[in-house]
Amino acid sequence: LILSQGTLAFEGLTAEAVRVYADVALPSGSRWEAPKPNGRPMQIMQARALDSAGKPVDEIDRGSPLVIDIVYAVREPVQCAVVALNIHAADGAHLMSVEDADQDRERFLRRTEGCYRARVTIPGGLLNQGLLTLRLGCGIPGQAVFDNVEALRVAILDAEHKWRPGFRGGYLLPDL
């Protein structure tokens, strides 16, 4: 079931309900930009889903690397800062998290003002086909959340038809 403002918007099988919900409620597109400054010490400014050549993608073959490019701003010195990328399947399952964390002793004491770029490459042949939602956040673990956005949605396809649909379940399907 999907409810919208207290009324029934969809009734059907779970897989179809997830697809309908994703089409309506989740972000789409290969690029996201912050609508305005959030007034906090750190902010995610931009995120892009790219192929290995740097071309924006809404969908990519599961055998190709997926690159997530993140631009964030630091507006005042921040200690122990973390910028995180969380990847979820369309059904909400959390697949993985990666972080740009202040673990370098020189930066551990203070992240200085400026504009930074973090880039994550997910190797081809790791993820099974399906829809991914990418959530980005920044802050100080256990103390403060400065930004938290569901920024992108990317479809992982099996263009080579290596696996029949439904043949191999699971979210991760590493090529061996």
Please report, for residues 90, 99, 103, 169, 172, the alpha-carbon distance to residue 16 in angstroms, rounded to integers and kept in the order given: 11, 32, 43, 17, 21
Name, in order, each residue with C-beta under 8 angstroms of 82's C-beta and a sequence gap of 6 or more: 99, 100, 101, 102, 138, 139, 140, 141
Q: Do 46 and 32 contact (CB within 8 A), yes or no?
A: yes
Each residue's pLDDT tens digit, 3-50 = 777 888 888 887 677 667 766 666 567 899 999 999 999 999 999 999
Helix, strand, coil shares of the chain as percentages rounded to 5? 10, 50, 40
Least confident of 41-45, 110-114, 127-131, 169-173: 169-173
pTM here is: 0.80
More confident: 18 or 77: 77
Query: Does an H or E element contain 102, and which?
Result: none
Bridge partners of residue 120, in order along the sequence: 68
Least confident of 44-48, 105-109, 122-126: 105-109
Instruction: Give me the percent of the chain exceeding a pLDDT of 70.
Output: 84
How many whole angstroms from its chain centre is CA 174?
19
